């Protein structure tokens, strides 16, 4: 099968089709999405070697006796051991032995086929097109901010960062009834939030402050600096971004105003699928370009250009 493979650099390769192990299924990938985390993996994050990519929609093609056969699916990216203390305590997403699709010990979605445990799968409702379903994973990650911080419908919220994740977060908070503000760098991105009733600003124009919650999704340390400056005392900053270089935290910025800094990662797939099914969220305006998998190297190069939102790989045969 055709796949992108990361060794010292990223290459297009012909790899053997993977064999599903007991409890697993073989999935033919229809579409895969490129996320900023994938770009970080290409830069050496996690020290991963293999097929990158973790966003996908596909079709189960084996084994023959699986109840999932022929179903269109999306899949959760953490593969827990199921045995350790953390798994038994309900922290399977944080299993220390876990594999992570396209990031840690497990080949990912930038390929014609992949294998996953059946336990990781979610059926895609008929109404959800492939190019919407491929957003299930990032939309779930966006939904997780609702779990991470206590939002109320009358919260006054600022989202920092107008990338794909920041925009999806702003939409979800708007659906929640909250008063949502988004600060970013690209007028054409901000427009995509305006459609959901979000108030938008380019960074130099942003003067408001004392937000109940600020969600930092910019991927840049200056975004966290802005977040800490604009949150109200006893408010919360939800951190969706990691920065390779670290952030010089002045602990007085948390202690004196009693601010909470909350790490937030993967989220609930079923909720994301419900929002897509109802068409309350339509992520497709985020799609900038689609490439066949055979042009995957070109696609990844394009995805790294400034201001590019979602890039999709068409992996079907």
Interface with its own copies (CB under 8 A): 85-86, 91, 93-94, 148, 210, 224, 232-234, 239-243, 246-265
At closest approach, how far in Å is the CB of 314 from its own copies?
Answer: 30
Between 1 and 259, CB nearer to its own copies: 259
User: Which residues make Cβ contacts (< 8 Å) with residue 226, sequence separation at least 6?
Assistant: 160, 183, 203, 206, 216, 218
Between 86 and 176, CB nearer to its own copies: 86
At closest approach, how far in Å is the CB of 98 from its own copies?
Answer: 11
At closest approach, how far in Å is the CB of 134 from its own copies?
Answer: 23
Give the C-alpha distances (Å, rounded to integers) separating 17 from 2, 20, 61, 102: 9, 10, 12, 16
Between 143 and 192, CB nearer to its own copies: 143
> Distance (Å, rounded) from C-alpha 175 to C-alpha 162?
17
Between 190 and 228, CB nearer to its own copies: 228
User: Which residues make Cβ contacts (< 8 Å) with residue 65, sequence separation at least 6?
Assistant: none
What are the φ and ψ backbone dihedral angles of 273, each rounded to 5 degrees?
-65, -35
Q: What is the DSSP string of 86-103?
A: HHHTT-GGG-TT-EEETT
> Distance (Å, rounded) from C-alpha 160 to C-alpha 217?
6
Between 113 and 151, CB nearer to its own copies: 151
At closest approach, how far in Å is the CB of 299 from its own copies?
Answer: 26
CA quadruple 138, 144, 146, 150: dihedral sign: negative
At closest approach, how far in Å is the CB of 30 from its own copies?
Answer: 29
């Amino acid at each position: 099968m055709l796949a992108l493979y990361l060794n010292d650099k990223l290459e297009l390769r012909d790899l053997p089709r993977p064999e599903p192990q007991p409890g697993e299924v073989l999935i033919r990938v229809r579409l895969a999405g490129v996320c900023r985390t994938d770009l970080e993996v290409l830069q050496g994050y996690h020290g991963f070697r293999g097929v990158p990519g973790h966003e996908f929609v596909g079709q189960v093609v084996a084994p023959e006796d699986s109840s999932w056969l022929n179903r269109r699916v999306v899949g959760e990216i953490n593969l827990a051991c199921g045995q350790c203390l953390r798994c038994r305590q309900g922290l399977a997403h944080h299993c220390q032995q876990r594999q992570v699709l396209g990031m840690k010990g497990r080949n990912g979605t930038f390929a014609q086929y992949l294998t996953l445990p059946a336990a990781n799968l979610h059926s895609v409702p008929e109404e959800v097109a492939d190019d919407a379903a491929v957003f299930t994973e990032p939309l779930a990650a966006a939904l997780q901010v609702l779990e991470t911080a206590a939002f109320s419908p009358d919260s006054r919220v600022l989202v920092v960062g107008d990338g794909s994740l920041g925009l999806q977060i702003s939409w979800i908070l708007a659906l929640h009834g909250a008063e949502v503000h988004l600060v970013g760098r690209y007028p054409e991105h901000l427009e995509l939030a305006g459609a959901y009733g979000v108030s938008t600003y380019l960074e130099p124009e942003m003067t408001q402050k004392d937000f109940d919650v600020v969600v930092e999704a910019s991927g840049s340390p200056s975004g966290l600096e802005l977040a800490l400056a604009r949150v109200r005392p006893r408010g919360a900053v939800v951190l969706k971004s990691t920065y390779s270089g670290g952030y010089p935290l002045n602990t007085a910025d948390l202690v004196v105003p009693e601010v909470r800094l909350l790490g937030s990662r993967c989220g609930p797939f079923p909720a994301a699928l419900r929002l897509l099914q109802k068409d309350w969220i339509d992520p497709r305006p985020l799609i900038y370009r689609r490439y066949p998998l055979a042009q995957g190297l070109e696609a990844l190069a394009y995805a790294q250009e400034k201001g590019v939102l979602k890039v999709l790989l068409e992996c079907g045969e």
